[in-house]
Amino acid sequence: MTDFKTLIAADKGQKARTIQILDVFNFEDWLKDQPDSVRSLVTAYKFVANPESYLLLPVTGGKVDKDSSEQGDFTVVAGVRNHKAMEPWDLVKLGGKLPEGQYRLAGASAKDGLFGWLIPQHQFERYKEIENKQGPSVLLVKDEIAQVDEAVRQAEATALVRDMVNTPAADMGPDKLEDIVEKLSETHDADLKVTRGDTLEKNFPMIHGVGKAAMREHAPRLIELKWGKSDHPKIAIIGKGVTFDSGGLSMKSPAGMLIMKKDMGGAAHAIALAKLVMEAKLPVQLHLLIPAVENSVDGNALRPGDVLNSRQGLTVEIGNTDAEGRLVLGDALTLAGEDEPELMIDFATLTGAARIALGPDLPALFCNDDDMAAGLLESGDEQDDPLWRMPLWSRYEYRLKSAIADTNNVATGSFAGCITAALFLEKFVPGDVAWAHFDTYAWRPASKSGRPKGGEALGLRASWAYLKKRYAG
């Protein structure tokens, strides 16, 4: 993985190029103060300091770079939304595009923009050598040095999600998820417990039911990590770890299966969030749960019409084997609730309905606690990692009714698919526990600056900012 720590350094007056930060409100005043040669270049390139725009200007000794003789061969002028209050993605185009070298900001503090400087310099290179790879761009900081560790942690966590999701299922099966959590537990001296294969059948029948068709090559498992001091408040983080989703006997189309390596994106988010919690030594007792399965086809595969028991005790009729994520999450949520945490968060690439409603960039947030929901939404806005709250509309519960079991795993009809999926999950959450469910896409279908097509962390920084605010003050 990219060594993000090398991309930010303390400013000790060393030689560096200057980045002048502007916005559309102070741009004209800045331009009037420049020599004719600079104004001509800026006008020719139609630069007006729009957000995520920048321009390289040759050093001429003019006002554009007062210390040009010491700071390099060119200077950079960059547009942001507000030069007085840097936002997380403001520097994303600079970190990924500027030529190799050292830079320092003028006209703004980098404090809240460090993440955006770091993350575009990471690329997924496991299977292909990147041609003409950009050399590292190093940002020199002074007063912001205290924020560097936090920015590095967020960049590492985001890169972890992206890399895990981008990795094909052949190299990211249930066993590989276990390996990743095991290494995390060793790093942070946490306790690890893994329940595998047919031993799941008695206590985690829904995880076993979904994963049993891949038993020979990719045995299902429930991966648990516990960390923290016993006198700290308990929190649980759960992630859907379906490492490949064929749809089971309710099989997806070839096009529908094409990116189903990403169906473990919920697990990637949960693991990355747990990593952030432990690295920052947040004063909590953490319980991480990853139900890891492959939804495959075999002679013993789960069938539409079958009835599964669950750890919670509810019986579940299978209306569709392609609605498997909610099944494995149900058993994991039940176990998490038995530990009586004060807060539970789950992440899942759960429904296409959420994407139809909100598109790929905006995770659907379901929450049974208004204060928690408000805090998550606020943190999402602050981190430019937005969320949208959807209703746990209990009047739709009738649509999950089964004639032969306590509930069906899918609703009748196609309406409100992400809501009925969340209502199914809610059946396995203790009513007195604050719970948030992220129905996230974990994928970017088209590239943006610093955000390449492929695996993506959506809702990760929002949830982390909320937990920090709640437990670290």
Residue 200 has φ and ψ, to the nearest 5°, of -75, -25
> Taking Cα atoms as reference points, which of 119, 197, 113 lies closest to residue 147?
113
Residue 364 has φ and ψ, to the nearest 5°, of -80, 125
How would you class 256 by CB atoms within 10 Å of its CB: exposed for 0-12, middle for 13-18, buried for 19 or more? Answer: middle
* The residue type at 68: S
- Is-contact 235 342, C-beta < 8 A? yes
Tokens 């992400």 identify what position? 418
252 carries an active-site annotation: yes
CA distance 100 to 13: 18
Neighbour order of strands in the sheet with 316-317: 307-308, 316-317, 407-408
Which of 111, 196, 252, 468 is catalytic? The answer is: 252
What end-to-end distance do the CA atoms of the chain give, in Å? 31
Which of 240, 311, 326, 444 is catalytic? The answer is: 326
Burial string for 320-344 (b: 16+ CB within 10 Å, else e) reads ebbbbbbbbbbbbbbbbbeeebebb
Q: How many CB atoms lie within 10 A of CB 457?
A: 29
- Is-contact 378 463, C-beta < 8 A? no
- Is-contact 23 166, C-beta < 8 A? no
CA distance 329 to 403: 23
Tokens of 286: 């953490």
- Residue 317's beta-bridge partner residues? 307, 408
Tokens of 338: 């038995």
Tokens 């936090």 identify what position? 150
Tokens of 194: 């893994």
Residue 266 has φ and ψ, to the nearest 5°, of -65, -40
Half-sphere CA count of 407, side-chain side, radius 13 A: 24
Catalytic residues: 252, 326
